[in-house]
Amino acid sequence: MNDKMNKKKEPLTDTQLLMTITICIFIVMYVLAMLLLKGGFLHAQQIFDLLNDNASLIIVSCGLTVVMIGGGIDISVGAVTSLVVMSCILYLNKGGNVIFAALLALLIGLAFGLVHGLLISYLEIQPFIVTLAGMFFARGMTTILSVNPQKVDHAGFEALRNTKIEIPWLGYVAKNGNLVPARMELGVVIAFICVIVIFLILMFHRLGRNFYAMGGNQQSALMLGINVKRTRFLSYIISGILSGISGFVLMMHTGAGNATNAAGMEMNAIASSIIGGTLLTGGVGNVAGTFFGTMTLTTIKKIVVSSGLKDPWWQSITTGGMLCFFILLQSIVLGRRQKKKQA
C-alpha cells in the first residue's frame, strides 16, 4: 500500500501536455471575452453558434490530424468538401434521395482517399504533391459541375436541415421577455460522433498506436513489425471519408454551394490541428486537442469581429499570429522536456 502511495505519478505525454495547454488557453480566452466584451459571449448559444458554424471544419480537422500524426499532410480536404457539396446539391435538385446523397458524399471522399493513399503509400510519391494535384482536380470538377451558385431545392433535405436540437435550460431570456432556447444543428452531433470515434481509434485501437509509431519514427515502426504502407494508406482513407462527411454537414448548414465553397478550409484545418497540439513532424497529436484547437481558432476570430475589426484581413492576421504563437509554444515546451529527459 505504501509502495503504491509513494510511487511517482507518471508525467503527461507530449500529446497530453500540448492538449492540456490548448484547453487552458481556450478557457482563459473565452472567459476574458465574457468579462471584457460581454454581448453574446455571456450566452451559451454563442458556444452552440461556434459549433453550428464550424461542425464541418471540426470533422475535416479530425481527418487531417490522423494524417499529420502519421507524418503526412493532405491539402485537398477543402476542395473535396466543395466537390461533395456541389455534387450532392445537383443530385438532390434532380429529385435524388437524401440517404443516397449522403452515400454519394461518402463515396466521393472515399475515392479521393483511395487514390491519395495508393499514390503516397505504395508508389511513395510526396504527400504534398499528390494532395496538391487532388486539390486542383477537385476544384476543377466542382467548377465543371456548376460555375454558378446552387441552392438545395428538396423538401426532404430541407426538413432534415431545419431540424434543430433545443436545450431550453441553456437558453436565455430575450429583451421581449420570451425564453430563447439554445439550438444545436444535427451537423454538430455528427461532428461529435466523428471526434469520439477517431479519439477511440487513436487511444485504444492498434491502428491508432500504429499511426503514432509511424509518425514518430518510421524505421522503428518497421522494426516493430508494423505495416507502414498499409497504415499510411488507411490514414488517407480516413481523411477522405471525413472530407466527404464534412461536405454533407456543410451542405446541411448552408443549404447552398458554389465553386469556391470551403475555400481555405484545408488551411484552417491545418491551423486547428497545430493549435490543438498536433506536430507537423508526426507522432504527437489528439483529436480532442484538435477540437479545442478549432474552437480556439474560431473564438479568436469571433473576438476580433466583436472588437469592431470586421475587415477580413484582421482575422487572417490574427490567425497567422496565433499559429506562430502555438508553434513557438510547442517548440519551447517540447524542447524543455527533451532537455530534462537527457539530463
Buried b (16+ CB within 10 A) or exposed e, 240-277: bbbbbbbbbbbbbbbbebbbebbeebbebbbbbbbbbb
C-alpha distance from residue 33 to each of 37, 43, 44, 303, 307 (Å): 5, 12, 13, 7, 10
Indicate whether 246 belongs to any domain: yes
C-alpha distance from residue 75 to each of 54, 70, 85, 153, 322 (Å): 18, 15, 17, 31, 20
Indicate whether 139 belongs to any domain: yes
Indicate whether 31 belongs to any domain: no
| Res. 99: pLDDT tops 90 | yes
Among 97-106, 232-241, 244-253, 328-337, name the one with the lowest average pLDDT. Answer: 328-337
| Res. 154: pLDDT tops 50 | yes
**Residue 220 host element (H or E):** helix 218-223
The pLDDT value given to residue 7: 47
Task: Identify the CA nearest to 271 among candidates 216, 327, 220.
Answer: 327
Indicate whether 123 belongs to any domain: yes
| Res. 212: pLDDT tops 70 | yes
Indicate whether 101 belongs to any domain: yes
Query: What are residue 256's DSSP bridge partners?
Result: 151
Indicate whether 87 belongs to any domain: yes
Task: Identify the CA nearest to 105 among candidates 75, 130, 73, 82.
Answer: 82
Report, as an integer, the average pLDDT of 32-52.
Answer: 82
The pLDDT value given to residue 148: 87
Indicate whether 89 belongs to any domain: yes
Domain range for residue 207?
52-293
pTM comes to: 0.91
Are the beta carbons of 117 and 229 closer than 8 angstroms?
Answer: no
3-state secondary structure of 256: strand
Report how many domains make up the chain: 1
| Res. 112: pLDDT tops 60 | yes
The pLDDT value given to residue 340: 65
Question: C-alpha grid cell for residue 236?
Answer: 488517407
Question: C-alpha grid cell for residue 308?
Answer: 469592431
Highest mean pLDDT among 7-16, 190-199, 272-281, 301-310: 190-199
| Res. 77: pLDDT tops 60 | yes
Indicate whether 6 belongs to any domain: no
